[in-house]
Structure 1
């Protein structure tokens, strides 16, 4: 088994399989999330509170076509959070997999990029602010948990490496 994991070709195949599966599931969760978020077009009374990105761009919402596509995702996250949360978790896994693939031979760059992403997750969580729906509460929990995990990952990776070298 150890020879299989050390074989560079097999290791690359593991990455390819993971990327293919991620693409399939990300696409599926993304389509479902945007479909569920299209309910915002029906409920015009929620445009002011749910169309954050459209208002951020300075657009006035008078018709459903004025609403940004990202606002569909936010609406879906607020009211039907299952698929948007799955999408975000898969996206975080995609980022992690890519970082490990790019910097797997350079430990300092790997640690630095993981710490940078951890800080980004925590800042994003604080930027989102107060959790006013279940989906936003779950999103904040995921961002803060992943941020803490990414910030502590250099220590964890060093600890795992020392344990593996002892065996």
Structure 2
């Protein structure tokens, strides 16, 4: 029961931070509606749905986040960090007794973050470069933590066999 009281405040603060940063990033990204020369490069989701974008009415809300991440990355970065914190916190809360599953969870999360970093590897925008480094660093931390948990689990199991 005490674990829940540690989990809920952390999850609540991270969720509020995620909500605030999401709204702020969406607002900042709405500047794409007034930037038609950037529609070709910053609207991948709208282009999947409509093809070439002819008017601002065709731009999907999801593309606002792409534009914000490329040119005003502060709030998208806060979104990413708070989302990662929530993912890791939730995974730890539910899998803390199942060390092997938590190790797999962190490994999968790290692999996904490395995959995301691949998509922004050669980004010419400052926001894309920042996102690349955040995803690589976060993927590395998740992977290293998973490896450490794995060896800690092996060490614990080998000590139980000896005793």
Give 1:82 shift: 0.6
Distance 2:5 2:115 in 1: 35
Give 1:58 shift: 4.5
**Number of corresponding residues:** 154
Give 1:115 shift: 0.5
Distance 1:97 1:130 in 2: 31
Picking from 13, 20, 41, the partner of 1:21 is 13
Q: Counterpart in 2 of 1:140?
A: 132
Distance 1:35 1:155 in 2: 39
Give 1:110 shift: 0.4
Question: Which runs of 5 or more residues in structure 1 are unaligned?
Answer: 1-8, 163-167
1:81 correspondence with 2:78: no
TM-score norm. by structure 2 comes to 0.87
1:119 correspondence with 2:107: no
Picking from 17, 27, 35, the partner of 1:35 is 27
Does the Cα contact within 8 Å between 1:60 and 1:66 map onto a contact in 2?
A: no
Give 1:59 shift: 3.3
RMSD: 1.8
Q: Deviations over 1:86-105 (max 9, x none)?
A: 11111111111111112111
Q: What SS does the corresponding residue of 2:83 show, helix, strand or coil? A: helix
Q: Deviations over 1:56-75 (max 9, x none)?
A: 33433122121121110010
Question: Which runs of 5 or more residues in structure 2 are unaligned?
Answer: 156-163
Q: What SS does the corresponding residue of 1:57 show, helix, strand or coil? A: helix
